[in-house]
């Protein structure tokens, strides 16, 4: 469900609730709000930028891992891991 933002239509400031703007979680099928619920001032829905989450793949980059003080290893063989970035031993082995 999207969050819609409403602002007063007239140049009047409105009340403390609608003056800075009202953010309302509504279904797409819900009718738009036409008046402030507390003072009755006419309000209109305004366009705002959507929030887009693109994923966290950048958090696993070697430069990001090393910058935050972690060490990253990759599997080199059965039970053997080699260091790709960070401090620590070059290899870890289960033997």
DSSP 93: E
Cross-strand bridge partners of residue 22: 6
User: Pick from 71, 83, 84: which is nearest to 92 by CA?
Assistant: 83
pLDDT for 54: 76
One DSSP character per residue, 27-87 reads: -TTSPPP-B-TTT--BEEEE--PPP----SGGGGSHHHHHHTT--EEEEEETTEEEEEESS
Give the chain's mean pLDDT: 85
pLDDT for 10: 77
Measured from the Cβ of residue 57, the count of other Cβ atoms closer than 10 Å reads: 7
The torsion region of residue 14 among left (phi > 0), alpha (psi -120 to 50) and beta comes to left
Domain ranges of the chain: 1-48, 59-93
Task: Read off the pLDDT of residues 52-89 as tens digits, 9 standing for 90 and up.
Answer: 777 777 777 888 888 888 898 999 988 899 999 888 89
């Amino acid at each position: 469900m999207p969050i819609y933002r409403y602002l007063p239509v007239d140049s009047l400031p409105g009340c403390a609730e609608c003056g800075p703007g009202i953010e309302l979680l509504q279904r797409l099928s819900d009718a738009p709000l036409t008046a402030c619920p507390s003072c009755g001032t006419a309000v209109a829905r305004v366009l705002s930028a959507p929030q887009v989450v693109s994923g966290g793949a950048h958090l696993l980059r070697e430069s990001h891992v090393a910058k935050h003080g972690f060490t990253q290893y990759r599997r080199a063989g059965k039970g053997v891991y080699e260091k790709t970035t960070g401090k620590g031993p070059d290899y870890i082995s289960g033997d």
